[in-house]
Chain A
Amino acid sequence: MKKIQNIFTAKGETERSGLDLLRNFSQPTTFVSGVLLLLVVLCATFAPLIAPTDPYDLSVVSILDGRLAPGEQMFDGTIAWLGTDGAGRDVLSAILFGLRTSLIVAVCSAFIALIIGLLVGLIAAYFGGKIDAFLMRIVDIQLSFPAILVALVLLALLGKGIDKVIIALAIVQWAIYARTVRASAIVERRKEYIEAATSLGLSSFRIIWRHLMPNSISPLIVLATIQTAHSISIEATLSFLGVGVPITEPSLGSLISNGFDYILSGAYWITFFPGIMLLATVASINIVGDRLRVLLNPKIS
């Protein structure tokens, strides 16, 4: 069985794109975005270690430090490079912790959506007929509504909380994965190795899991990258509207929302810097994802 599979998985392709990957990432824009993305992920991972203060330790945060402009010194001598918010929290530290929340929500929801989408897409492609028509009709209907609207409604129904936001975003995204997997799996389904596996009498489960899935999964890599950026913005928007993650564990969106109350008094830094971080994160993922799409798709270029 291994042999039959290997003939059709076209092993040479992955090696070629590995080389292309290196060459393409030496382009200045892509290189900068790649480095930026790496930095963002590192900052989020090590937030508790590199943040100057712990913004959620109430024994440290003091209202006396409220609304300091960027670069001013806080009461205990630490310099607030990006200023402080109304409650005296260091904006830089809050951003690092917020980034962490944003990324966790986006990655978890993208992962859950990917699993559900993969399952649905494979089942639809493998069994075809009525099952396929039914599943794809649901996908069509869901995709005809804008993601932000579906997420908003789901959160109105589910209530607040990080877990709820992850569930809502996963439900919002599964359909696009399902459609993509189905498209590539339906092509694989017609190839000889699947026929060979079927005539060997393998169970449907085994054929889907061992043969169909590994060969249909590659378009999902690019999609998952771009969807992660997408779900970071949706989550930020929802949190900004006050229906996303709770204020006790703010994401970048809730930080911006928090700064909304201060913009009329001129304290721009409370909203400005979290937004820059959000923009940098989303833009770098988008550019890297776009590059990956061009690389992995032989039809473009």
Chain B
Amino acid sequence: MLGFVIRRLLQSVVVLFIMSLIVFSMINLVGDPVDMLVNPESLPDEIERVRRDFGLDQPVHIQYWKFLTGALSGDLGNSFIFGRPALSLIAERFPATIELATCALFIAVVIGLPLGIYAGLNPKGLKARMIMGGSVLGLSIPTFWLGLMMIIVFSVLLGWLPVAGRGDTAVFLGIESSIFTLDGLRHIIMPAINLSLFKISMVIRLTRAGVEEVMALDFIKFAQARGLSSQRIIRSHLLPNILIPIITVLAIEFGTLIAFATVTESIFAWPGVGKLVIDAIVNLDRPIVVAYLLFVVTLFLVLNLIVDILYAALDPRVRLQGGRE
């Protein structure tokens, strides 16, 4: 186990290093950030001065060396646009993204789980088929377009919910979040539902598959033969058996929620990391793009490692060998 963790950590370091090398060398081929930073009417020597200030006049390998030595001491460079450390800009906005992703995950479970159980228990019924049809639609519908439609309906036509931003936040138990104020809740509800839609469909499908599999097993038949109420069977025999795979999948999917938050944040002007990085890509703010990328790669490597360890802990049949068969 320990050997596995160490090997995976070493491998993660290699992946991070290669990633940084590729990203750094390729990002220098796209556009000229200096064009975005100076007034188009500046004199050539003014442009040269800006280029020198940002260290962009040096060859790529020297820039990369500077970046790498900085990165090892936790400094991923300053944003060209904001003039502040890229990593602290990301750290400031990350809580808003986590908040959005957590709310979306919560909604996905609260809505998806009951619907999935229902569809699994009554597979032939009309309602179950409608639920499953809805989940196909949910997987096909373009998330960003649905977000715009929600704005049209709930903000423009009905005027119920605000269009953009995070609203008021409050601190509760040391966590600053908008779900603790009414105004914040009104702001988060649309983006969270929008982000969760895809996951709701996924949870429905996973749950239904799990329910159908478990309900056919002998111990459920014995429970029914013992005359237990169907509520009790669902609660103490069905749920514990289907929850483990669902929880593991959701743990992996939390990462994709953070990735997809990029889109939702752009629509609802949610002040998270996703919005920051999209703006950075458009404005050629290279340090932020590089820092975000390394940040996300690290996040995913850690998430995957945790999931693999959890798998092994929950299911002794899984042997950890570093991914080889």
CB within 8 Å of B: which residues of A? 29, 133, 136-137, 140-141, 144-146, 148-149, 152-153, 155-159, 229, 233, 236-237, 240-243, 253, 256, 259-260, 263-264, 266, 268, 271-272, 274-275, 278-279, 282-283, 286-287, 290
Which residues on B sit within 8 Å (CB–CB) of A264?
151, 155-156, 163
Q: How far is the CA of A263 from the CA of B281 in the complex (A)?
A: 25
Known A-B contacts A152-B281, A156-B30, A263-B156; the reply to A278 vs B145 at CB < 8 A is yes
Q: How far is the CA of A282 from the CA of B256 in the complex (A)?
A: 20
Contact of B94 with A by CB under 8 A:
no
On whether the beta carbons of A233 and B282 are closer than 8 Å, the reply is no
Interface of A is mostly: helix
On whether the beta carbons of A156 and B145 are closer than 8 Å, the reply is no
Known A-B contacts A149-B296, A237-B263, A275-B145; the reply to A286 vs B156 at CB < 8 A is no
Contact of B26 with A by CB under 8 A:
yes
Distance of A72 from chain B, by nearest CB (Å): 19
* Chain A CB within 10 Å, residue with most, of B136, B145, B146, B278: B145
On whether the beta carbons of A229 and B31 are closer than 8 Å, the reply is no
Q: Which residues B242-264 have CB closer than 8 A to chain A?
A: 255-256, 259-260, 262-263
Which 10 residue pairs across A and B have the least CB separation, nearest first? Answer: A275-B145, A283-B140, A149-B259, A157-B26, A146-B256, A146-B259, A156-B281, A159-B30, A282-B140, A240-B144
On whether the beta carbons of B140 and A141 are closer than 8 Å, the reply is no
On whether the beta carbons of A256 and B144 are closer than 8 Å, the reply is yes
Closest to A271 in B: B148
Other-chain residue from A157, A236, A260, A282 in contact with B148 (beta carbon distance below 8 A) = A260
On whether the beta carbons of A156 and B263 are closer than 8 Å, the reply is no
Which residues on B sit within 8 Å (CB–CB) of A236?
142, 144-145
Residues 148-163 of chain B: 1 if any A CB is under 8 Å from the residue's CB, otherwise 0?
A: 1101100110000001
On whether the beta carbons of A241 and B27 are closer than 8 Å, the reply is no
Pairs across A and B, CB under 8 Å, 21 listed: A133-B324, A137-B324, A140-B323, A144-B300, A144-B301, A146-B259, A149-B256, A149-B262, A156-B27, A157-B23, A157-B29, A237-B143, A237-B263, A241-B263, A263-B152, A266-B156, A272-B152, A279-B142, A283-B140, A286-B136, A287-B136
Which residues on A sit within 8 Å (CB–CB) of B102?
none
On whether the beta carbons of A145 and B142 are closer than 8 Å, the reply is no
On whether the beta carbons of B255 and A146 are closer than 8 Å, the reply is yes
Which residues on A sit within 8 Å (CB–CB) of B139?
286
Q: How far is the CA of A146 from the CA of B277 in the complex (A)?
A: 16
Q: How far is the CA of A271 from the CA of B151 in the complex (A)?
A: 11
Closest to A279 in B: B141
